[in-house]
Amino acid sequence: MVKRFDRDRLPDPVSGFEAEGLTLKGPGLWKTTACPFHGGRDSMRINTESGAWRCMNCGEHGGDLLAFVMRFHLLEFMQAAERLGAVVEDGTPSRPRPKATLSPAAALALIQSETWLIACTALATADALPDEQDRARLIEAARTIQHIMSEVPA
């Protein structure tokens, strides 16, 4: 399975930092919290919109929640993204994907319907390019076919 980072699934900075155990205090865009790196009580500033963080005392800093999780837990990018629930298996977003246990017959039926969609669109657009949505659906159809090819045992 191909795993992929999906930024849209990141928690908002406030809930993300709170889930990491930080207590954000104060009004305004920048909140104050204890620095988990050097132990100071209120030296860290966190931007509630971007998630940027900086300790005014020890100087630890980063551009967003992901950078914080990487630095604090010493994780690689994808590990940090996974911890934050922002990793999906490729192809997951909108439609449920065919199961890995797809039977050859079901796979063929799915390929047939996806191919039919491509053929119909090709006919309907003989002298006009498909619009953005049509193109996106065609690409999805092609990816579905590719996915089936990779999942069905030879």
Binding site for Zn ion (CB under 5 A): 35, 37-38, 55, 57-58
Closer residue to Zn ion, CB minimum distance, 41 or 135? 41
Residue with tokens 């967003």: 64
Of 76, 74, 153, the C-alpha closest to 107 is 153
Q: Which of 31, 71, 22 is nearest to 49 (CA)?
A: 31
**Cα–Cα distance, 20 to 14 (Å, whole number):** 10
Q: Are 47 and 53 in contact (CB under 8 A)?
A: yes
Minimum CB separation of residue 25 from Zn ion in Å reads: 16
Q: Which residue number, 10 or 17, has a Cβ lying nearer to Zn ion?
A: 17
Query: Look-up: residue for tokens 């199961």?
Result: 99
- Residue 118 half-sphere exposure, CB side, CA atoms within 13 Å? 14
Work out how close the CB of 23 gets to Zn ion at its nearest, in angstroms, rounded to a whole number.
15
By three-state DSSP, how is residue 8 classified? helix
Nearer residue to Zn ion within complex by CB, 71 or 143: 71
Enclosing H/E stretch for 110:
helix 104-124
| CB of residue 71 to Zn ion, shortest distance in Å | 11
Cβ closest to Zn ion, residue 55 vs residue 84:
55
Which residue, 17 or 144, has its beta carbon nearer to Zn ion? Answer: 17
Q: How far is the CB of 46 from Zn ion (least distance, A)?
A: 12
Q: How far is the CB of 150 from Zn ion (least distance, A)?
A: 47
